[in-house]
Structure 1
């Protein structure tokens, strides 16, 4: 169905661009609904998962492992992207015509941009330092929520979560019930909103077919092929790693990861697949639910392994089209810059993700305009493999952290011969059903009669307030009454 929506959207976008714009607006409504739930879900899941994680054996060691392995996965992805880009060398074999056309696109996008400094350099640096520090450690949790600062929100949520986990069990049971209800509500909202994914796929395909520049796509085909190929290769390796470390067969693992993978590929949002990823890794594959509920929401925003690969290949491609030779120092700068750009793009999408690539380009003294002009044109193609790789790397992080913990699968604790409790059913005879209907009719009639009686009593003179006639007499008899 998703493939048919993709093909139909491309056909409609090519034939009727005005319809494509309407379909694109509907897709943006879906993304707005997902983003509306994403940040609150991350906060509540951090509270909920942190409390369960601290109740596991060796909580400090596992918390430290989560942070170290998360940074290590992003750095390893950037390193592999840099090495693969250096070997395949995308953009080095561009023809003169394609290189000239890409240059004209960059120049046309940069035309008319003028940079004005309204403050002196020291004031600008001080303001930037204060803003960066406020992003990392905000002085107001609700301000961070209102501004949508993911890193500040995560730090505040961790601090509040640690305080919540340190409370006694009796005191925190009530809050635990509230957080549980809120958490399940957000899961339900995302699951229902995900039913609109075919509409999103149709809208994005139609919009891309109506607005894409064919010559830009052909000129950047080497980058697209390199990035998509490496992303699929690393995604396959991550799936095999999950399978080798789980007790389930390969087909079972693929079946469990199918839904989160499809949502990551088609939703254009890194948080849309959070509920299904939690369900797949905990309820189906049996990993610790406390670890899963702590890692998945935070990792969907901050562990951007797909973005690290993307930024590394982006830097190699831009360096090649500008004739910038890469040595060992340049490759190391690309690796470090891609890692920093991946964390800097946390909680962002589309334009902001591409703009984060300016970090690695600045380290190499390459034009930032190239990233904004060229890579925004193909971002819809690259967003799907980015999200897929990040989701599967999140699953790998869970597998590595949950080493040594018992499985939580229901079928791992119960045998196949255990009888499952049947659901409670209510059965009615014709007589009892007729009596129930008659009672409902009588009750409804009584409610109507009582309502009429209360209304008549409230409207009668002398009860509750003076009547209209009496009020009129008072006004006539007392002409000095200005009221």
Structure 2
């Protein structure tokens, strides 16, 4: 029986195939860690291939979309809706994180065995006086990230250097400014550039579809290598935090799916079907930027939203609306407060939420351990010693990073659906 490319793509993006590949990878990493470590290069190559596509795709899509937006009119109205939706989604993410942690209280009333494991990870016994002094003593001075720093980091002094270093946020700023300028140029003059940008955009989408085919194998290799590196002890010690973050992420994803379903012209199963690509790629790459092509394909081709709006709003939302990290910062900060027995009032919880939103916006263009380190920005407002607990979060970050990326991708897909006009039901 001959299987065409479309059928094969639907198979490799099937959620059960994705989850099965992850489970097989974790099993391999636990049973044969030496073999699993040798397979890590497969994931590295795959992620690099996806990153190779992202910047030319994003720059061409944003410039092309802004040009069309100016030609069609209504720019101010669209940007106003963007601001409202971004603020609303940031608020929802932080409220979900705060309510989940305050309800589940994963850092409170921990057993002595768990505290001993924490102490072993950070270099001592949490239950002993020595470790208490180490964790609560004078911490290294942490240089906060202010509004001025964020604004300075937005502007690319050299766009070619920004592109070469893979700086997504600076490249986005350049693309937006250039797109605004191109929108003012007469169509007869910019026609050649328009065709070139459209060619780049279509080529990047084709490459992305090709890279979907080896996804199950890539997932297996990546998950096996990650578990082999970290082992299971940190996962066991941080089980309660990870469980709380999973619950918070599932609630956030549920809200996003509800929004998408209500905004689309399809029934709920069809809406879920349209999100197969973004879901699988978010888990595989743990990079929200690499998911932009499939997000656009899902919204425009599968759910029927206007492509001209989607192509502009997806890169903008992925780069700026960092709801996954915002959710994570709230959960991590409240967990640290509970771990150190710090009781927080309503005002302090609201402060944590506001600081997490600021840290989320500051995380634009960041990934990996750099993203985790910004938790210290939220902790700093409460005087919590984040540096001592940093290694705890590093140990479980592979799993948390998957969830952060998934919340960004699915959540921003929902945000874009709210900004765009609703598709007409056929």
Please give the range of the TM-score, normalised by the shorter of the 2 chains. Answer: 0.7 to 0.9
Instruction: Tell me how far 1:370 sits from its aligned partner.
Output: 4.0
Report the 3-state secondary structure (helix = DSSP H, G, I; strand = E; otherwise coil) of the residue aligned with 2:213: helix
- Between the aligned partners of 2:223 and 2:35, the Cα distance in structure 1 is 12
Given the alignment of the two structures, is residue 26 of structure 1 paired with residue 25 of structure 2, yes or no? no
Q: 1:60 aligns with which of 49, 55, 76?
A: 76
**Partner Cα distance (2:244, 2:21) in 1:** 26
Correspondent of 2:319 among 297, 301, 305: 301
Distance 1:242 1:211, change over 3 A: same
Distance in 2 between the 1:72 and 1:129 partners? 20
CA RMSD of aligned residues (A): 2.8
Which string of whole-angstrom CA distances, capped at 9 and with x for unpartnered residues, describes residues 369-410 of structure 1? 24530111111111222222212221222222123x664x8x
Q: Distance in 2 between matches of 1:371 and 1:32?
A: 31
Q: Is the 8 A contact 1:299 1:394 kept in 2?
A: yes
Shift of 1:79: 2.5
Q: Which runs of 5+ in 2 are unaligned?
A: 1-16, 125-130
Equivalent of 1:363, from 381, 387, 411? 381
Distance (Å, rounded) in 2 between the aligned partners of 1:295 and 1:132 = 21
The alignment partner of 1:376 has SS state of helix
Q: Once the 2 structures are TM-superposed, how far is the Cα of residue 243 of structure 1 from its aligned partner?
A: 1.3
Q: 1:230 aligns with which of 230, 234, 248?
A: 248
Offset of 1:194 from its aligned partner? 2.9
How do residues 258-337 of structure 1 correspond to structure 2 at under 5 angstroms? 258-337=276-355
- The answer to whether the 8 A contact 2:317-2:416 is kept is no
1:60-99, CA deviations, whole angstroms, 9 ceiling, x for partnerless residues? 1112221332233123212321232222222113112212
Q: 1:36 aligns with which of 44, 52, 73?
A: 52
Structure 2 counterparts to residues 144-293 of structure 1, below 5 A: 144-293=162-311
> 1 or 2 for the larger relative contact order (CA 8 Å, sep ≥6)?
2
Counterpart CA distance in 2 for 1:62 and 1:242 is: 18
Say yes or no: does 1:14 pair with 2:30: yes
Find the partner of 1:91 among 90, 107, 113. Answer: 107
Q: Secondary structure at the match of 2:395?
A: coil
Please tell me whether the aligned partners of residues 42 and 221 of structure 2 are also in contact (alpha carbons under 8 angstroms): yes
Q: Structure 1 CA distance, aligned partners of 2:92 and 2:18? A: 32
Secondary structure of 2:288's aligned partner: coil
Q: In the alignment, is the contact (CA less than 8 A) between 1:23 and 1:199 conserved in 2?
A: no
TM-score, normalised to structure 2's length? 0.86
Q: Secondary structure at the match of 1:138?
A: coil
Tell me the CA shift for residue 318 of structure 1: 0.8
Instruction: Give structure 1 stretches of 5+ with no counterpart.
Output: 118-123, 413-483
CA deviation after TM superposition for structure 1 residue 150, in Å: 3.0
Q: CA deviation at 1:44?
A: 1.5
Distance of 2:28 and 2:198 partners within structure 1: 44
Q: What is the distance in 2 between the residues matched to 1:10 and 1:136?
A: 38
How much has 1:8 moved relative to structure 2?
2.8
The number of aligned residues is: 400
